[in-house]
Structures are given as structure tokens and as C-alpha cells.
């Protein structure tokens, strides 16, 4: 999945001739905190709700004294790059440009989350295991071999880091709901299991958190 395939065609950018009041209205209608400003096909940057409310709202935003966020992604950038740029700049939308820097559209945080939730085997039945390990001990190939030796399959995996302890956490989703035997086998090979989650309890909680987050975005 690349950025071009995630562009929303329902949300239009701001123009320099739009007033601050119009910009605030658009933000409320789209349930966003940010919108890009475009002059013809040129991306000028991204304006925030705070930028607008601290400026004269009856004047065109082109007359505002702004330090616009210049973050953007290319239409050929991978989904993970889109997520990284949006997270680094704490944006609710990220503008997308082509190789000539022409504005093509934007990607919203809500669309990104919804795509993410529909993908990566989240909807597949199974169980989750979180393994705590040192960086030197990390080998997904070895862990996969152990799990497949128990007639299970890894559907998806995510790696995170704890900056304070320097430990790594590998979260694995397998195709088996009952994972006690997988946990026992991994522990027999010396892996420290930080947590396990059954499908029923974990995914019900995950759905509740996901619904609550989408409600927050729409407030």
C-alpha cells in the first residue's frame, strides 16, 4: 500500500483566499485539527486550528503570519512512511505531492487507522503473545520456526522498544486461539513471555479502544 492509494478525495484543501472563519468551519465539518493550504497546485504547508484561532478570523489566511508545518509525503511513499511522518509531526492529515511537488490530495489520520485496523490480519481469529527480549537475542526466523513446529502460523508481528530498559518487545499474532502450548514451548527455548491475550478478551478490548479513539477524532 502506497500513499496514492490512501488519498481522500472528499476533503478539499484551503486556499489563501479563504478566511479564517471559513477555515474553522471546514475543520469542524471534516472533524480535523489541520488542513493543507494550496495555491493552484503548489502546497504551501499545513495550518492548524490553533494557528487560525490566534489570527483575525475575518481576514484571508493568506494574510496570516504563519509558520506553516511543511511536512508532506510523496504519492509513492509506503504506508509505514506515511504513518511515521504523520506521527512525528502530530498531524491529523498529511498532504500528498507528486514527484514534481504538485499537490495531489491528503490522507487523514482516521482513514489511516481504519485501513490499518482492516489490514495486517487483525480480523483473522487467533491469539497474541508478547515476548520480551534483548536486541542480540532477536531472530524472527528462529521464533517462527519454533511456532511453526507447534503447527501454528504467525499472522502478523510488531516490534517495539523500551528506551529506559533497552528491551525489545515482539508482539505476535498466531492463527491459534489457544496459545498456552505455544507459550510453554517458547519458554522452554528460553524466551521470556511478557503477556498473552486470548482472542475474545483482547479483541473486545481492542475494539472498544478503537471505537473510543474514532469518537475522539469526531468530537
Kindly state the helix (H) or strand (E) to which residue 47 belongs, with its residue range: strand 42-48
**Chain centroid, CA 56 distance in Å:** 33
pLDDT digits (tens, 9 = 90+) for 110-138: 888 888 767 655 667 788 999 999 988 99
- Choose the weakest-confidence range: 27-41, 71-85, 157-171, 178-192: 157-171
Q: DSSP secondary-structure letter at 19?
A: B
pLDDT at 159: 86
* CA-CA-CA-CA dihedral for 79, 80, 86, 90, to nearest 10: 140
Kindly state the helix (H) or strand (E) to which residue 209 belongs, with its residue range: helix 199-217
* CA-CA-CA-CA dihedral for 47, 51, 52, 55, to nearest 10: -140
Name the pTM for this structure.
Answer: 0.68
pLDDT digits (tens, 9 = 90+) for 138-189: 999 999 999 999 999 998 888 888 888 889 999 999 999 889 999 999 999 9
Ordered by where they begin, the domains of the chain are 3-117 (3.10.580.10), 127-210 (3.30.2130.10)
Is residue 10's pLDDT more than 60? yes
Is 211 or 162 the better-scoring residue by pLDDT? 162
- Considering the chain, what is the average pLDDT of its residues? 87
Q: Model confidence at 11, in pLDDT bands (50, 70, 90)?
A: very high
Amino acid at each position: 500500500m502506497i500513499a496514492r492509494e490512501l488519498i481522500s478525495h472528499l476533503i478539499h484543501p484551503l486556499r489563501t483566499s479563504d478566511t479564517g472563519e471559513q477555515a474553522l468551519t471546514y475543520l469542524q465539518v471534516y472533524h480535523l485539527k489541520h488542513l493543507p493550504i494550496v495555491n493552484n497546485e503548489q502546497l504551501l504547508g499545513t495550518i492548524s486550528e490553533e494557528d487560525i484561532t490566534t489570527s483575525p478570523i475575518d481576514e484571508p489566511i493568506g494574510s496570516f503570519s504563519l509558520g506553516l508545518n511543511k511536512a508532506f509525503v510523496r504519492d509513492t511513499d509506503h504506508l509505514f512512511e506515511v504513518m511515521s511522518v504523520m506521527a512525528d509531526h502530530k498531524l491529523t492529515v498529511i498532504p500528498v505531492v507528486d514527484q514534481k511537488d504538485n499537490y495531489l490530495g491528503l490522507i487523514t489520520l482516521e482513514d489511516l487507522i481504519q485501513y490499518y485496523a482492516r489490514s495486517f490480519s487483525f480480523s483473522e481469529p487467533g491469539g497474541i503473545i508478547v515476548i520480551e527480549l534483548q536486541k542480540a537475542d532477536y531472530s524472527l526466523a528462529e521464533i517462527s520456526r519454533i511456532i511453526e513446529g507447534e503447527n501454528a502460523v504467525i499472522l502478523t508481528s510488531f516490534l517495539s522498544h523500551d528506551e529506559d530498559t533497552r528491551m525489545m518487545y515482539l508482539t505476535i499474532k498466531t492463527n491459534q486461539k489457544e496459545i498456552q502450548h505455544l507459550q510453554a514451548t517458547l519458554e522452554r527455548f528460553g524466551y521470556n513471555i511478557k503477556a498473552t491475550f486470548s482472542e475474545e478478551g483482547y479483541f473486545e478490548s481492542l475494539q472498544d479502544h478503537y471505537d473510543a479513539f474514532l469518537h475522539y477524532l469526531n468530537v
